[in-house]
Chain A
Amino acid sequence: MKLALLCALVALAFIAALALGDQPVPPGEVLGALFGSENVPAPSRIIVTELRLPRAVTALLVGAALAVAGTIAQAVMRNPLADPGIVGINAGAALAAMVVIVQVGSLPETALPWLTFTGALAMAALIYAFAWRQGTTGTRIILVGIGLSALAGAGASAISVFGEPAYVQRAMVWLAGSLQDSRWEKLPHLLGWSLPPALFAWAAARELDLIAMGDDVAQGRGQPVNLARALAILACAMLSGAAVAAAGLVAFVGLAAPHIARALTGPRHARLIPAAALVGAALLLTADIVARRTAPPLQLPVGLVTALLGAPFFAFLLWKRRND
Chain B
Amino acid sequence: MTDPRLAAHTLRLAYGATPVIEGLDLAIEPGRFTALVGPNGCGKSTLLRALAGLHAPAAGQVVLDGASIARRSTRALAREIGLLAQSASPAEGMTVEELVAQGRYPHRSVLGPWRDRDQQAVEEALALTSLISLRHALVDRLSGGQRQRAWIAMVLAQQSTILLLDEPTTYLDLAHQVEVLGLMERLVKEHGATVVAVLHDLSQAARHADTMVALKAGRIIASGRPSEVVTPEVLRTAFNVEATVLTDPDTGTPLCLPRRTVPE
| Interface positions of A (Cβ within 8 A of B) | 78, 137, 203-204, 206-207, 209-210, 212-214, 216-217, 219-225, 262, 266-268
Contacts and interface: CB of A to CB of B under 8 A. Distances in A.
Contacts of B158: 221
Interface in B106-158: 106, 108, 110-111, 154-155, 158
Given A210-B102, A213-B102, A266-B94, A220 B89 contact: no
B92 interface: yes
Nearest to A263: B93
| Majority SS at the chain A contact face | loop
B88 interface: yes
Contacts, number: 70
B49 interface: yes
28 contacts: A206-B105, A206-B108, A210-B105, A213-B88, A213-B91, A213-B102, A214-B85, A216-B49, A216-B54, A216-B88, A217-B102, A219-B53, A219-B54, A220-B82, A220-B84, A220-B85, A220-B155, A221-B78, A221-B158, A222-B74, A222-B75, A222-B105, A223-B75, A223-B105, A224-B73, A225-B74, A262-B93, A268-B98
A220 B79 contact: no
Nearest to A207: B110
A222 B77 contact: yes
Nearest to B90: A213
Nearest to A225: B74
Given A220-B85, A222-B76, A224-B73, 4 more contacts: A78-B89, A207-B110, A213-B102, A217-B85
Nearest to B138: A266
Highest count of chain A CB atoms <10 Å: which of B74, B84, B98, B111? B74
Nearest to B112: A206
Contacts of A206: 105, 108
Interface centre among A213, A216, A222 (most CB of B within 10 A): A222
A133 to B, nearest CB: 11
B91 to A, nearest CB: 5
A214 B74 contact: no
B79 A267 contact: no
B106 A267 contact: no
Contacts of A266: 93-94
A103 B252 CA distance: 83
A205 B261 CA distance: 52
A225 B75 CA distance: 11
B83 interface: yes
A78 B79 CA distance: 25
Contacts of B77: 222
Nearest to A216: B85
Contacts of B103: 221
B52 interface: yes
Contacts of B53: 219
Given A203-B111, A213-B88, A216-B85, A221 B105 contact: yes
Nearest to B155: A220
Contacts of A221: 78, 102-103, 105-106, 154, 158
A268 to B, nearest CB: 7
Nearest to A265: B93
A220 B103 CA distance: 9
A64 B171 CA distance: 42
Contacts of B94: 266-268
A223 B82 CA distance: 12
Given A220-B84, A222-B74, A212 B54 contact: no
A1 to B, nearest CB: 18
Contacts of A203: 111
Contacts of B73: 222, 224
Contacts of B75: 222-224
A225 to B, nearest CB: 8
A266 B99 CA distance: 13
A271 to B, nearest CB: 11
Contact of A220 (B78, B91, B92, B111): B78
Contacts of A209: 102
Interface string B168-203: 000000000000000000000000000000000000
